[in-house]
Every structure is written in C-alpha cells, then in structure tokens.
Amino acid sequence: MSDPPTVEARANALGKRLLALLQALLGARHYQRGIDELAAHPSLACLTGHDLDAALAALQRRGFAFQAPGAPAAAAAAAAEVEDPTRRPWSVPSELGDALLRQRRSQERGVFSQLTLRGHLDRMYSDPARASRTSPQRLRELYKVYSRESASVARIERLPDGLRELVGKAVLEFGGILPRGLFEQMETDMPHWNGRRWQMTLEQSLVGTVAPLDLSRYGILHTDESLIVFNEIALAWLRRVAVPSDPDRPHDETAMGIDHISNLSRFLSYLHENDVHFTQRGDIFKTTEKRILQQLIPNPGRELSRDAILAWLGDFARHAGLIDRTGERTLALSARGREWGQKSLLEKLKALLDHALEDRTLGGEHYHHARLRQILLRLLKRVEVGTWYDLMYLPFLARNNYLASLDELHVEQAFSERNQSAHAEPMEDAQRLAWNLVRWMRQRLFLLGIIDLGYDKSGRPVALRLTRTGARLLDAPIDAPLSEPGIGSLVVTPDFEVVLFPSGDDDELVHDLDRFCVRDRQETVLRFRISELSVRRALTSGMYLARLLQTLESHSRTPLPQNVRFSIVEWAHRAGLMTLDSAWLLRTENPELLKRFQQDPGARAYIKEVLDERRIALKARSTPRRMQALLRDLGYLVELA
C-alpha cells in the first residue's frame, strides 16, 4: 500500500477478466458490490455465474478482494431468514482501493487535465504519435499562444450561436463549471443538453469540454456531467466582460474605512473603565451590551448588524488574549490588551485578518475555505487599487485555481478517511464554494476596510474594489499619493472641533484621530471633537502627548489654536501624565500626584530619592521601558522622555 506503482503493476498483471472485475469493484461506493450487482455489471455480462465465482475466488487469493461480513444475527432472526454466505457482498480493501485510484488519477493528471487548457494540451499531446512530432518547447509555445486573452476571447466569439451564449453564461454565473443538473433548471435558448456535440465543438475550439466531473473524493458535492470552460479561457472572458469597472460605477458605494479598528478600541476602553460582568455561559449581559453599542460608531454598513459586529469584536478579543476573566466574573484588559493601542494600524489589521482567515462561523467546510481564502488574498493583491470589479470575479478565480490544484494539494488524502464513513457526505458543491467565499468577503474583508462594496438599485452587492489600506496590508502596488504634498487635510477650530476633508487615503489619520477625539458627524467631511475624556482615553491606551499634538499640527491647514494646545496639555497633566527620562528622573506637573506616588506601596520600592515636589529619582533597575511598563501596570500614565 505504501508503494502505489507496485500495486498498480500487480493489478495490471491480473489478466483481462480479473482486471475487469477489479474495476467494477473500484467503481462502487466503499469499493463494495453484491454478487447480483456484479452479475448485472455491463463489463461482466459475458461471465456465467460459475465464471464470476471463480474470478472472485482468484481475486481473493491474490489479496485484491474479500467477502464482507454478513448481516448481524439479530437482524437476520428478525427477518426470519437464514443468511446465505454466498450472497455476501464483495469488497476491495479500502487502503488498496485508495492506493490504486490515486496512482491511476496521478497518471491521468487528475482534475487539472479536465479544468485547465494546459492540462488538456498535455493530455492531447501525450499520445505517442503526436508526442513524436511535438517537442516540449513547442508545446509550451502553443500554450502561450492559445492562452492569450485576445485569442481566448476570439475563440469563444467564434462558437456557434446558442453554444456561445451558453458558454458566456456559464462563465459569468457559474465561473466556467456548469453541471447538467443546474443547466436543466436554467432558462436558456438551448432545447436540451447535448453533451457529446458540445464536447466535440468546445475541444476542437480549445475552449473547454463536457465530461463527468466527480469531486466527491475531495469532499466537494459534485458528481454530475458538466460543461467546463478551461480556467485560462474563463479568466480571459471574465477580464474582458466583467472587469475593469463593470458595472462602470455602482448605484451606491459603501466604505467601512477603519471603523472596525476604532470600534475595537472603544470596546476595550469601555472594559477598562467599567466593570463588565458576564453570565455563566460567558456572555455579556444584554443591558451591558446595549451600553457598549452606544459607544460604537453608528455606521455598521449593510452586511452585519451592530450586535453581530460586537459579537465578533468580543470573539477576537478573547482569541487574541486582549481580555481576561476575573474571579469576580468580570472582564478585564490583559497585558496584551493594554498594549493594543500602541500598535500601528497595519499591525492591528494584520491581527484581525489572521483571525478572519480562521473564522469557522460563516458556514462551509473549513478545510476548503482556509485554502480558498489564502488564494483569494493572493489574487486580491493583483487587482488595481480603487477600480470596481464584479463581485464574483475574484471568488470564481480563487475557486477555479483551488479546484485545479486539488491533486497537487493532496486534498483527496485528507478526505479519504471521511469518505469511507457511511455518514459523511460532502457539504458544498462547487458553486456554493464561491458563494461562501463571497460571504466571507462581505462580512469580514469589508468589515476590516480591506475592500469597499458597491450596490445596485435594488440594494444587492454587485461590485468590490481594493482600498489603499487593504493594498498596503497585502503588500500590493499603490499609485502616487492622492493628496498634494504640503497641503493639510485638517481644520482645527478654537471650540475644539476637528474637520477632516477626505483625500481618499486618510485611514492612518482617521485611526489617530479616533484615538483622542470623538466623532460628531460623518458626511462629505468628517467632524471630530476633542474632549478631556477622549484625551484621557488616548493617554491610557498608550498614545503619547507629543504624538497627539504632532497629529494635529502636521495635518492642519492652519496653525493649531493656542487655547486648544494649552487645554490638551492641561488635560493630560490633570489625567496624571508623568515622564521618565534616561537618567531615571520621573517628572510631573501635578504635585498631588507625586505625593500619592510616594505613598503607593507598589511604587515605593522603586523610589531612590525625592528631589522636589515635581521630580523623583528612581532606582535604576532593568531598563526605562521596563520601568514604564511596571508603573503603567500600577495605574500611572508614564511616558518615556
């Protein structure tokens, strides 16, 4: 079993009659057939009952088959029948059957040869007569010619009327794989399924084929005869027809930006400032949930409710270790949670994306979707930033890429044990793989601001585009900056209002503003308001006062009003801001705070000398950064000078 080529060689040496019998058994579910089924099999119709029994005995002697156990005695007694041992079904050992089928499929090039133009050409020119006239280099040149976008589209356009429209519909609505069962439910000009004729036309045109496509052994519910448009041809047609900018511009556009990141920060701030109790099941009480929802940005988009967004925020915070459960059945920030605010926008997005990739709550077989999502992200980084693409474009390409790689990824081996179970059936068909991938894009990538969504007049999502923040996260190429250098996008007024004039690439700035401001309104311009509470929250989350002021000054079109600067500094000192320099001097402008620090049992061990009412010399232990972390754990807002 560990040497499939040897097993295949032994099977081929069985002889014509025994090999036909073995083939009949291998074609059955669990490699098992009854004696009557074998006698009725077309390839064994020439055998008499005596010949069939002799052939089965010969297979058994050679170790290729065995007679399965009969029905349980209790069941036989209940039926008042005496079991006939000669009527027991015959089976091929499952390990032996798996090894034989894997070896034969690898020789036939498996799904790759059915779904791709490259595989079809390889199979076509593997015939010895053709191979002698065509070198491998010539075959590669033929593939380059036939897979070009213009040549592929031209071959589709030259197809006969009716079939041309059917192929176009198969690509746009089904990604290039149209099962016969779905065809019979479609409204089409074709009177009936004519697989043999279509196969001849499509293969001669090097557009596709019509063939039985069995993906059940890979854990995919697809066993029907199917019209298949080769992956390369389907890609060319999708690129020509579906993108770019088709629809030219959606009727309605929706962008989440970095709202989800800001909501997570607000959620963590609420946990830090309040005692949040949870039930015996570990859920937050409903009344508390309502209060938390009031703190979130009131723009959840169309894909998820605010309750669902809060649930996903809580799930991520638990899995990322940002929150802990206390003995008093409350939720508290962990050390990681206190450090979360100091991470950059891309670091936060990366952590959330990693969590989304492993999400198991959206349905579908996780084994498939964990790989499909990775393929989708690789394709997403290749699209043009800011250009609208048909919503199904990337999911179809990702699914087709995955299906063509099933053998290379050894998916069959992963599902072989599950396929042997009588109760395990494939969960999704090929079409639903793409639909569930779309659902993940709408409810996760859109939520993270990696893509924007476009809707038609009826409110259905029809298009997507990659955002500039999403491109940075995926390391995709980005064009030149949208805003002119040297021109700020903020206006700060003396009444503490901050107005942001969007430039199309403001996510980093909005991320910083959300840390120390409160959003007022979100219209054509974004309006924020600075308050003492919002400044305190920013400092508590790890944002430095200097960074806060620099954000306002470096992006403002006008000088920062003096009363705003003075108030922010005053609020910071009132919140208890302290600075620690490399000489281990701890400074503060609040004498009362320094007195409390001297009396704190936790902080007293680090005091070396009290210099005056605003300065204390600390003992030089470890590093200033480590000391900062220790003092922050004690509840002091310490910055490094």
Residues 458 and 366 grouped into a single domain: yes
Q: Is residue 426 part of a domain?
A: no
Instruction: Examine the pLDDT at 491 and tell me if it is beyond 90.
Output: yes
In tens, the pLDDT along 323-332 reads: 998 888 888 8
- 31 versus 567: which is more confidently predicted? 567
Which pLDDT score is estimated for 77? Answer: 40
Given pLDDT bands bounded at 50, 70 and 90, which one contains residue 81? very low
Instruction: Determine if the pTM surpasses 0.95.
Output: no
- Tokens 């081929």 label which residue? 12
Q: Are residues 442 and 541 in the same domain?
A: no
The tally of domains found in the chain comes to 5
Q: Is the dihedral of CA 469, 473, 478, 483 positive or negative?
A: positive
Distances (CA, A) of 544 to 95, 168, 569: 63, 57, 11
Residue 353, domain extent:
247-259+269-296+311-417+431-479
Indicate the SS3 state at residue 504.
coil
**Cβ atoms of residues 229 and 191 within 8 Å:** no
Q: In this structure, is the dihedral angle defined by the CA atoms of residues 422, 424, 427 and 430, taken in order, positive or negative?
A: negative
Q: Is the dihedral of CA 121, 126, 128, 133 positive or negative?
A: positive
pLDDT of residue 86: 60
Confidence of residue 94 (pLDDT cuts 50, 70, 90): confident
Q: Would you give the DSSP letter of residue 128?
A: H
Q: Is 485 helix (H, G, I), strand (E, B) or coil?
A: coil
- Using DSSP, state whether 313 is helix, strand or coil: helix
Q: Lay out the sheet containing 66-67: strands in order across.
A: 32-33, 90-91, 66-67
Query: Does the residue 523 lie in any domain?
Result: yes
Same domain, 275 and 289: yes
**Amino acid letter at 574?**
R
User: What are all long-range contacts of 204-212, with beta carbons under 8 Å and residues at least 24 apart?
Assistant: 205/155, 205/158, 205/159, 206/117, 206/120, 206/121, 206/146, 206/155, 206/230, 206/233, 207/152, 207/155, 207/156, 207/159, 207/167, 207/233, 208/167, 208/176, 208/233, 209/114, 209/120, 211/114
If asked whether residues 212 and 289 sit together in one domain, one would say no
Same domain (yes/no): 158, 230: yes
Do 473 and 515 reside in the same domain of the chain?
Answer: no
Q: How many angstroms separate the CA atoms of 62 and 58, rounded? A: 6
Q: What pLDDT, on a 0 to 100 scale, did the predictor assign at position 622?
A: 80
Residue type, 570: E
Q: What is the pLDDT of residues 546-561, one digit of tens each?
A: 999 999 999 998 899 9
Rounded Cα distance between 562 and 581, Å, is 27
| 155 belongs to a structural domain | yes
Cα-flanking dihedrals φ and ψ of residue 537, to 5°? -65, -40
Whether residue 560 sits in one domain with residue 531: yes
Are 13 and 70 found together in one domain? Answer: yes
pLDDT tens-place string over residues 218-228: 989 998 999 99
485 within some domain:
no
Let me know if residue 305 belongs to a domain: no
Nearest to 463 by CA among 264, 211, 243, 632: 243
Q: Where is the domain boundary, 533, 553, 572?
A: 572
Q: What is the mean pLDDT of residues 479-488?
A: 59
- Mean pLDDT (the chain) is 86
Are residues 153 and 228 located together in one domain of the fold? yes
195 and 116 in one domain?
yes
Asked whether 4 and 103 are in contact (CB, 8 A), the reply is yes
Residue 78 banded pLDDT, cuts 50, 70, 90? very low
Residues 127 and 217 in one domain: yes
Residue 225: per-residue pLDDT: 92
The last residue of one of the domains, among 48, 83, 105, is 105
Instruction: Say if 379 falls within a structural domain.
Output: yes
Contact in structure between 541 and 265 (CB atoms under 8 Å)? yes
Count other Cβ atoms within 10 Å, centred on residue 68. 13
Q: Does residue 202 lie in a domain region?
A: yes
Query: pLDDT by residue (tens digit) across 133-157?
Result: 667 788 888 899 999 999 999 999 9
User: pLDDT class for 359, splitting at 50, 70, 90?
Assistant: very high
Question: Do the domain assignments include residue 264?
Answer: no
Is the pLDDT at 434 greater than 50? The verdict is: yes
Residues 124 and 233 in one domain: yes
Domain closes at, from 80, 105, 130 = 105
Q: What percent of the chain has pLDDT over 70?
A: 90
pLDDT of res. 525? 85
Specify the pLDDT at position 272. Answer: 85
CATH of the domain at 41: 1.10.10.10
Q: Yes or no: say if 542 and 338 are a contact pair by the CB < 8 Å rule.
A: yes
pLDDT digits (tens, 9 = 90+) for 228-256: 999 999 999 998 876 655 446 788 888 88
Per-residue model confidence (pLDDT) at position 540: 87
Burial (0-12, 13-18, 19+ Cβ within 10 Å), 20: middle
Which of these ranges, 79-88, 146-155, 177-186, 277-286, has the smallest mean pLDDT? 79-88
The per-residue pLDDT for 186 is 85
* pLDDT digit string, tens, across residues 190-226: 888 999 999 999 999 999 999 989 898 898 999 899 9
How high is the pLDDT of residue 70?
56
Neighbour count for residue 1 (Cβ, 10 Å): 12
* Residue 418 confidence (pLDDT) above 80: no
pLDDT of residue 109: 56
The least confident of 72-76, 161-165, 185-189 is 72-76
- The pLDDT tens digits of the residues spanning 290-312 come to 999 888 887 777 888 888 999 99
pLDDT for residue 482 is more than 80: no
Q: Tell me the H-state helices in 320-392.
A: 335-340, 345-357, 366-380
